[in-house]
Amino acid sequence: MKLCDTKSIAPLDCYLGLSGLPFKITPLAMLKIAFWAQNQSSYQRAEDTINEVMNFRVNDDTVRLISNFVGTVVFENDCKKADETFSALNSGKLPFPKDREGVLYIQADGAALNTRIKDESGSTWRENKLGEVFSSKDIYYWTDKKGKRQHQIRKKEYVSYIGAVSKFKKHLFACATRGGYGYYKETIVLSDGATWIRNMVEELFPDAQQILDFFHLCENVNSYAKYLFKMDESKYRPWAKDICESLKKSQYEQVLKELGKFNRKPDNCPVNLYGYISNNIKNIDYATYEQKGYFIGSGAIESGNKIVLQDRLKRAGMRWNTTTAQAMLTLKTKAESNLWVTDVEKPFFAHCLSLSSGARTPNLP
């Protein structure tokens, strides 16, 4: 298959719905190719799968071009909806009912993606911001054979954006609104305590209870302890364990007093534990959170980073054009959120129809 460079289309192409499209292929076939492009670990594997499953030949370069095209159309549609939702927020036109129940969970995290372009510091790495929204109604609980309570999140929505917080926050807010923000009695935001996340949440979700991921906090406690006791495992392990146990019991004031005994951060230690806990003092009342049945760990977003970003875009040797990566991440989030029909197929078919009327084609990398 080759790109169609002409605007004059034969009557049969018009009948097949190819008129105005940049490929000699139907919209339905493009959607199937885009699905396999995000589903497989590489464009080459997607080519192999498509040739076998769909029973026609298509090379990996065409798979890349088509997935870019479809993903860009969907991403631009998402940007439009995010801007509209954010404008409604600023105009005070969003509905918030009085009688509410349940818990809405919002999670956010950043993860590095290797690109083909260097920034001012010479680095090719860019941060992808991932958001996830689900509710207490979407969680299934059961007790395993050992008597331990287990859970499964059966419905969730992801949003992914490579770029500034000022843009990502619009996508996250639109996602939260679709997930029911304002219709739940309580809103919980779980994160690793990054400053950009705290500031964003305070702006968008002022009624939310932020919770610092307990396991991320424990990682920082252990990192601090290693430097404090000069890597003496017999000393830093029991000390870190006691600190974490105290924090889980909400004894953070006692922990701060303990940390206050040390006049400064240990040499070369990457963690300012006193400052980290102080900055998140309102978000670490774990005893109360567990009593209310809240999650205190952000395992869901960590898993999301693996599923959405790492499994498809961080394979060995992969480097991405940021536009191509954004298109792929958009397709991946839709598939993993079970929104392929509503958020990919429907807007893409609508866009293909509009192309016949002379609408512009998205800029392809």
What is the pLDDT tens value at each position of the chain, 365 positions in all?
Answer: 344 444 445 554 554 556 567 777 888 999 999 999 999 999 999 999 999 988 888 999 999 999 999 999 999 999 999 999 999 887 777 777 766 789 999 999 999 999 998 988 999 999 999 999 999 999 999 998 889 888 899 999 999 999 999 999 999 999 999 999 999 999 999 999 999 999 999 999 999 999 999 999 999 999 999 999 999 999 999 999 999 999 999 999 999 999 988 767 888 899 899 999 999 999 999 999 999 999 999 889 999 999 999 999 999 899 999 999 999 999 999 999 999 999 999 999 999 888 765 555 555 45
Residue 329 lies in a domain: no
Domain shared by 195 and 300, yes or no: yes
**Residues 187 and 301 occupy one common structural domain:** yes
Q: Could you tell me if 170 and 231 lie in one domain?
A: no
Same domain flag for 207 and 221? no
For residue 352, being part of any structural domain is answered with: no
Is 1 inside any structural domain? no
* Residue 36 maps to a domain: no
Domain identity same for 245 and 228 = yes
Structural domain harbouring 109: 100-212+296-305
Residues 131 and 224 in one domain: no
Instruction: Record the pTM.
Output: 0.89
Tokens of 153: 């999140």
Check residue 6 and give its pLDDT.
42
Looking at the domain assignment, is residue 51 inside a domain? no
Shared domain for 192 and 145, answered yes or no, is yes
Q: Is residue 88 part of a domain?
A: no
Whether residue 223 is found in the same domain as residue 122:
no
Total domain count, the chain: 2
My answer on whether 133 and 272 are in the same domain is: no
Tell me what pLDDT residue 22 has.
75
Domain assignment of residue 111, yes or no: yes
Q: Are residues 135 and 199 in the same domain?
A: yes
Question: Does residue 177 fall inside a structural domain?
Answer: yes
Residues 112 and 173 in one domain: yes
Query: Are 236 and 120 in a shared domain?
Result: no
The CATH number given to whatever domain includes residue 176 is 3.30.420
